[in-house]
Amino acid sequence: MTNARRQPIQQRAQETVEALLEATAQLLVEDGYARLSTNRIARRAGVSVGSLYQYFADKDALVEALTRRVAERSAERIAQGLLGGVEQPLGELARSLIRGLVEAKRDEPELARAMAIEVPRQGRLDVEREVLGRLCGILSVVLRQRSDVRPVNAEMAAFMLVHGVFAVVRDAAAERPELLLGDELADELAELTLRYLS
């Protein structure tokens, strides 16, 4: 792992970590990834650089942790929904999943935008890859099991749908936030999915 660092155990340490993540998010939104620096993050968090390095190996570890937190929240919801919704008709399932995804971005639109635009997807640190990979795995199993899905190459179909839908929502958050305000985009993506699979 990237973490050979101390784990925060006392409460004030957890607060420090929290402040650092929050500061990272703020600076990312305000100044962009290029201007991020450990010194700046520490100052903004009201904490010393030394403390920062107790919990994070470097700048990217911070960004990674932030990314993970954001991505994990969406993925969690979606994975639950996918596994739980075996009984629902396909259309309902797709619709509720994608709405969930859109809502997640709507919670913190500026952060979503900054993450999408500023942060490079930097090789192995990329959490997104891991999260999307997991979702692809789950979805391809679901596709194989449901009887209301026409026969497809499940693995490839899952890759296309997961990556496609995620990207559309991400790009919308980045470039056309107004598209996320209603449910229209989500419903249309669900329609796309449904038409492709049945």
Partner DNA sequence: GTACTATATGAGCACCCGCTCGGATCGTGG
Partner DNA sequence: CCACGATCCGAGCGGGTGCTCATATAGTAC
Question: 48, 122, 145, 198: which one contacts DNA (CB under 7 A)?
Answer: 48
In the range 165-184, which residues lie near a second copy by CB under 8 A?
Answer: 165-168, 171-172, 174-176, 179, 184
141 close to 155: Cβ distance less than 8 angstroms: no
Q: Does 5 bind DNA (CB under 7 A)?
A: no
Q: How far apart are CA 97 and CA 42, in angstroms?
A: 37
> If you search the block for the tokens 């449910």, which residue do you land on?
183
Q: How far is the CB of 15 from DNA (least distance, A)?
A: 6
Residues 6+ apart with CB under 8 A from 105: 112, 169, 170, 172, 173, 180
One of 4, 50, 123, 147 touching DNA (CB under 7 A): 50
Distance between CA atoms of residues 114 and 83, nearest Å: 31
Question: For 2, how many CA atoms within 13 A lie in the half-sphere containing its CB?
Answer: 16
Tell which residue, 131, 15, 12, has the closest CA to residue 77.
131
Least distance in Å: CB of 54 to a second copy? 23
Binding site residues, a second copy, CB under 8 A = 32-34, 116-123, 126, 129, 152-153, 156-157, 159-160, 163-168, 171-172, 174-176, 179, 184-185, 188-189, 191-192, 195-196
Question: Which residues sit at the interface with DNA, rule CB under 7 A?
Answer: 6-13, 15-16, 35-40, 46-51, 53-54, 57-59
